Chain A
């Protein structure tokens, strides 16, 4: 597989938007994942050339994070939280129901590429379970009824941004406000007051950081190394 010209242009744009910073690799890969539904090998090559990060490291980062994949996910990637609080609310039964309805297995992408499903460690919505995610967007308080609606939307290929907003409605659910929640700070109030009272003047010793300011930017492509070369992204040794 090679990248189309249009995709190459898009990729170059993404990389440029991120200032060609190697520290933005994960952010760039997230956008790649969203666009291609996975991180194709040729894209890894491209990023290596653009960012100076060795290909093995691009692959290393891709395979480390659960939300990135080296195999295509569906146009609709559905995740269901596998946390114990969701378990207790029947997440596994809902998952089985969803899989049966859509004809997909956990950890798999359906043959037509339309949908993929997997369990995820946690959704971040413990008090509004059983919860899931579709293409990264929260799906709180799932039920069979909601699964039916979601399955219908998937089969009709309705883009997620056009799904009914009530499927995504997350509540704040504050039951008991205490010291902090009960005494919010008006934007700016704390800063103004503290600076007025005279807290420490900030030290201007660091140069303003753009990308590549950390030590000297060192390309880690072949041929550039010497034993004195240090990865500027590694912390200094304990020496």
Chain B
């Protein structure tokens, strides 16, 4: 949305930043899904060059050269991580780098690089014009200014909402027309799933942080399906560089599938929790570190939902016995009763 209707402001913020840090080159990393925006963004860039707001000798200053290129992504969530983004800008696989050093000292092609999201650059332009005091007068002490949210899910009015930091979750839910709410996923898959008891919490870095995603789920929803969706997502989007995330997210996905299918016992739940915490503690980057959040945050708050899905027997096969015989049945061309196995169901 910011790129659709506030592109000038985003580019202005980038140019301001370039003036401050002495950069000559800027990139807009446009995720692959936003291909439809490219043409109009190029038009905005062309117009800025015409207005002498971009390119050589900006606003007549001979020492101020700066231009922006648009680079498209190609469907990899991990490329939202700043060092993976830089790798992708360099034409490589988007695997996050070892840090330190950080991009501010060693970034694109080894040069000092500032990486920010478009909202930050848009805010920088606004601050550049109206001053820091104007911005800091809003928000909380540790989270100045505002946050743009993309609200979706079970509410009457999904869409874009901008709030000063410090707004309560309850207020947001009221404004977007949510009712019969079970929980909210604040901050996308990497964020936190909160329930009713926490709706008086505030949107802020020191309380509930969000990159903008805000998903609402009502009481008709199957929470485990939501968690399963996120867990599959992380296994699919893991870059594969580090062992804990590469293998761990796949194990977590399989374990959760098993639980959702009703084949897990109490011990499996303990294992899931331990594995989740392990991945969080040892992964190379934020994706792995937050991959278990959907499971861990819901398990912490709503353990009964998981308990209800468990088998009551202490030991049982972790797979579908009859299903595993399907290959043998196909090879022998058999489908009679003796070619099948009964599995005890609860």
Contacts and interface: CB of A to CB of B under 8 A. Distances in A.
Q: Which 4 A-B pairs have the closest CB atoms?
A: A178-B162, A66-B75, A25-B91, A203-B22
Contacts of A85: 152-153, 215
A208 B75 contact: no
A181 B148 contact: yes
B106 A204 contact: no
Interface stretch (A103-111, A146-154, A168-176): A168-176
A87 interface: yes
Interface stretch (B194-202, B226-234, B243-251): B226-234
Residue from the set B128, B135, B148 with the largest chain A CB neighbour count within 10 Å: B128
Given A66-B74, A121-B237, A209-B25, A173 B221 contact: no
Given A175-B176, A180-B148, A185-B125, A61 B75 contact: no
A192 B61 CA distance: 11
A83 B229 contact: yes
Given A61-B92, A121-B75, A174-B160, A133 B126 contact: no
B33 A123 contact: yes
Interface stretch (B9-17, B272-280, B324-332): B9-17
Given A122-B77, A176-B160, 12 more contacts: A25-B91, A61-B91, A61-B92, A61-B93, A88-B217, A126-B158, A136-B32, A136-B35, A180-B162, A192-B59, A202-B18, A206-B111
Given A67-B75, A173-B1, A176-B175, A127 B151 contact: yes
Contacts of A88: 153-154, 217, 221
A contact face: mostly helix, strand, loop, or mixed:
loop
Given A23-B90, A30-B74, A201-B63, A137 B36 contact: yes
Contacts of A176: 160-163, 175
Which bucket holds chain B's interface residue count?
A: 35 or more
B contact face: mostly helix, strand, loop, or mixed:
mixed
Nearest to B93: A64
19 contacts: A26-B88, A26-B92, A64-B94, A88-B154, A88-B217, A124-B33, A129-B152, A170-B36, A175-B157, A176-B162, A178-B146, A180-B162, A187-B48, A187-B53, A188-B59, A191-B12, A195-B59, A202-B19, A205-B22
B81 interface: no
B162 A182 contact: yes
A227 B21 CA distance: 35
Given A121-B236, A177-B162, A204 B154 contact: no
A178 B164 contact: yes
B317 interface: no
B44 to A, nearest CB: 9
B109 A214 contact: yes
B137 to A, nearest CB: 9
Interface stretch (B64-72, B262-270, B308-316, B338-346): B64-72
